[in-house]
Structure 1
Amino acid sequence: MRHQTHGPGPEADGRAEALRLVRVTKTYGTGGDGGDTAVRALDDITLSLPAGTFTAVMGPSGSGKSTLLHCAAGLDRPDSGLVVVDGEEMTGGTGAARGEAALTKFRRTRVGFVFQQYNLLPTLTVAQNTVLPLKLAGRRVNRARVEQILASVGLGDRLGHRPDQLSGGQCQRVAIARALVTEPSVIFADEPTGALDTRSARDVLRLLQEAVRVHGRTVVMVTHDPVAASYADAVQFLADGRLAGRMPAPTVDAVAERLAHLGDDTLTEV
């Protein structure tokens, strides 16, 4: 089963680059005598994603997919290598010139996030949660546009509701609206359907598709679910912190088959 996004795939020629990683490495632990085992979560990752594409990142538990997302999104710094978002260097490891304050500002303007647990503030309404990134960045809030975005994710009649008055699927729609409102170059989604029922998950995945083909965003989604991955334009596989192949136009069965044999033949193009 293939959930087509009705647009050119990520291999389309002449498309601007939204995200580039160059020889990115990340190690957790020191491996010293204190019993702290060093784990190479990312091992020399080089990757380029064109603008206006939807990429799923998949791999076994511990393969480095969440670390890849966190480093690419500026939530964590790589030990070495380069991360470029929308043509601007975001971080280049511990020696990067961009300090924490500048990095935070950069994330607020160029990057959007959708997490598994929504990360909504319980005391704020749907509308207030949605505009929070604008408020934090000191940017003007265009109320009409905010209402338009919330209507586009099916929450036009829920602006005054708080998270405890919403279903899980509705909370994730708020998170998507919040990610869209700053007009980011790239939206990073970390297991965005992991806490949802099948129908809500399908709705959220369609909204992420629309973020790409209607709003022109680039979406990078970490998922363990072949069904979720089938909504993407392409799947990038990871194994043991290294790239392990790419699958354009993924289907549920093809992704599941590839995952079952991941590691048998890493670094193979699909």
Structure 2
Amino acid sequence: MLAHAVRLDSVSKVYGRNGRGVHALDNVTAAIPRGTFTAVMGPSGSGKSTFLHCAAGLDTPTSGSAWIGDTELSGMNETELTHLRRQRIGFVFQSFNLVPALTVRQNVTLPLRLAKARQDRRWLEEILQRVGLAGRADHRPAQLSGGQQQRVAIARALITRPDVIFGDEPTGALDTVTAKEILGLLRSCVDETGQTVVMVTHDPVAASYADTVLYLADGRIVDRMDAPTAERVAERMTSLGAWA
């Protein structure tokens, strides 16, 4: 088994043409080990979301290559990328992106239905138990708090047993107490089941749950921090890019 769950090799992403393009990513190389929690931070416009989108196959690099495990994403057509995202990648966004008409159970199993994959009821019940929603399986999103809705989103991300879970500001819409619960849940995905989590965040407290923080500024990785604390992260952020 490969040591890395996610890899970017000399990835650049330019938006626009005719010499007026914006370099969202500029020759970025990174390798994220399996079974780790990585936070990606940087000032607004530093390329954080583009990093995540290119790594997850949601966007195509202008140059360079992105890999999920031993699978290179460049060269795959949209049908192949959709298949890969449904089976090997989980997503958790700031907006929960739940289907209002579906129950918790139906929202969680939606990726399986889209992929026409068999449902493992025991695995579903285990996930619902793990995220604290065993008693809410028949509720609809409108009957849940924001934190409970994000738990549904995490359960949905886990249902296919993905190689990587990508989070884009997953606690950005939550209060402090609920955010800590969600971050603890993501941390347990790494510690208890060996998932790989890659999370874009602007919050030093959120980043402190990670094993490693990658710092982006002006489309480049300018630093990394292992075993981060909220205080060290906050201090480092004050001297990055436009915030310097």
TM-score by length of 1: 0.88
User: SS at the partner of 1:157?
Assistant: helix
Residue correspondence of structure 1 range 21-32 to structure 2 within 5 A: 21-31=8-18
Aligned to 1:56: 39
Aligned to 1:90: 73
Distance in 1 separating the partners of 2:233 and 2:164: 24
Q: Give a deviation string over 1:111-162, Cα, whole Å, max 9, x none.
A: 1100000110000000000000011111000112101101110000000000
Percent sequence identity is 60
Given that 2:2 and 2:69 are in contact with CA atoms closer than 8 Å, whether structure 1 keeps it comes out as no
User: SS at the partner of 1:209?
Assistant: helix
Given that 1:244 and 1:263 are in contact with CA atoms closer than 8 Å, whether structure 2 keeps it comes out as no
Distance in 2 separating the partners of 1:239 and 1:245: 9
CA RMSD of aligned residues (A): 1.5
Aligned to 2:6: 19
Deviation at 1:263, TM superposition (A): 3.4
Distance in 2 separating the partners of 1:75 and 1:118: 17
Q: Give a deviation string over 1:175-230, Cα, whole Å, max 9, x none.
A: 00000110111100000000000111000000100111112110000000000000
Count of residue correspondences: 243
1:123 and 2:93 equivalent?
no
Given that 2:10 and 2:65 are in contact with CA atoms closer than 8 Å, whether structure 1 keeps it comes out as yes
Aligned to 1:241: 219
Q: For structure 1, list consecutive stretches of 5 or more residues without a partner in the other structure.
A: 1-13
Q: Which has the higher helix share?
A: 2
Aligned to 2:208: 230
1:213 to 179, 191, 214: 191
Distance in 2 separating the partners of 1:171 and 1:244: 35
Distance in 2 separating the partners of 1:182 and 1:244: 34
The aligned amino acid for 1:163 is P
Going from structure 1 to structure 2, the CA distance change for 1:233 and 1:15 (only over 3 Å counts) comes to: farther
**Deviation above 3 Å: which 4+ runs of structure 1?**
none
Given that 1:90 and 1:106 are in contact with CA atoms closer than 8 Å, whether structure 2 keeps it comes out as no
TM-score by length of 2: 0.97
Distance in 1 separating the partners of 2:121 and 2:98: 19
Higher mean C-alpha displacement, 211-220 vs 14-23: 14-23
Deviation at 1:15, TM superposition (A): 7.3
Aligned to 2:234: 256
User: SS at the partner of 1:121?
Assistant: coil
Distance in 1 separating the partners of 2:12 and 2:158: 29
Distance in 2 separating the partners of 1:189 and 1:58: 12
Given that 1:54 and 1:212 are in contact with CA atoms closer than 8 Å, whether structure 2 keeps it comes out as yes
